[in-house]
Amino acid sequence: MKRWPKYLTTVFLLLLMAATSAADNSHDNLQAVGSEEDARAFKRWQTKAERGDPAGQYNLGVLYYLGRGVMKDDRAAARWYRSAAEQGHATAQHNLGFMYHSGQGVAQSDRVAANWYRLAAEQGNAAAQNSLGSMYQNGQGVAQSDRRAVKWYRRAAEQGNAVAQNNLAIMYVNGFGIMQSDEHAYAWWVLAANNNHALARRNIHIARQNMTPYRVRKGQQLAGRIQHRLGM
């Protein structure tokens, strides 16, 4: 099969959990500091955060990052993420890693970003596993290793992370860090597309132009077996 690197890009994912159930509902005309509900949520999480509650600290960081219930403040977001991360909150660890990787609210450092991603990844956080895989694939903050990238992409992909599923497919189709397999690549793209990953859908379209009908069927069957094995 032809390789298609210009179509296959690795994507970082910042996982931001909603601070409250009310915050799950997007508001088209939300102002800089959000709605009254956001303001109440901010006060509620601020109280918990100041008492040392890691979930409160994490959620307060989310509100500062999004500018909901308070003016957007990346430095404050990073500070509260750190408070939660140092208590072992996995999603806060991932988000703090993202802040270091992107240089938002903190001095940019790929090395520190990779360290925080690793702590969250080792706790099973799928977004962090995908992000750590990307760091290894690109040699950012760690020694470049396609094999380790595959390891972390797979762990996230098997948890249903669509970005990691697409990234694992990329490794298979190019034979990066793993034996090249068009069928395995197609299978993981199918699973990612089922999770509404737009780039995976495009990659499936490209793959069908480069694979025989027989290989496409094999890829589809493999996707079904993976899905059954993982209980997706």
Does residue 2 belong to any structural domain of this protein? no
Does residue 7 belong to any structural domain of this protein? no
Does residue 30 belong to any structural domain of this protein? yes
pLDDT at 32: 42
Say which residue, 215 or 36, is predicted with more confidence: 215
For the chain, the domain total comes to 1
Domain CATH number, residue 58: 1.25.40.10
- Furthest-apart CA atoms within the chain: distance in Å: 61
Does residue 10 belong to any structural domain of this protein? no
Q: Kindly report the CA angle at 23 between 83 and 85, in degrees rounded to 5?
A: 15
Least confident of 7-11, 115-119, 135-139: 7-11
Does residue 50 belong to any structural domain of this protein? yes
Does residue 162 belong to any structural domain of this protein? yes
Compute, in degrees rounded to 10, the torsion defined by CA atoms 34, 40, 44, 49. 30
Does residue 200 belong to any structural domain of this protein? yes
Q: For residue 66, what are the domain limits?
A: 22-230
Residues whose CB falls within 8 Å of the CB of residue 142, separated by 6 or more in sequence, listed in order: 111, 114, 135, 136, 148
pLDDT at 232: 80
Query: Is the per-residue pLDDT at 200 higher than 80?
Result: yes
Q: Which helix (H) or strand (E) holds 58?
A: helix 54-66
Strand ranges for 19-72 from DSSP E: none
pLDDT, tens only, 130-150: 999 999 999 999 999 999 999
Global pTM value? 0.86
Does residue 6 belong to any structural domain of this protein? no
pLDDT, tens only, 81-105: 999 999 999 999 999 999 999 999 9
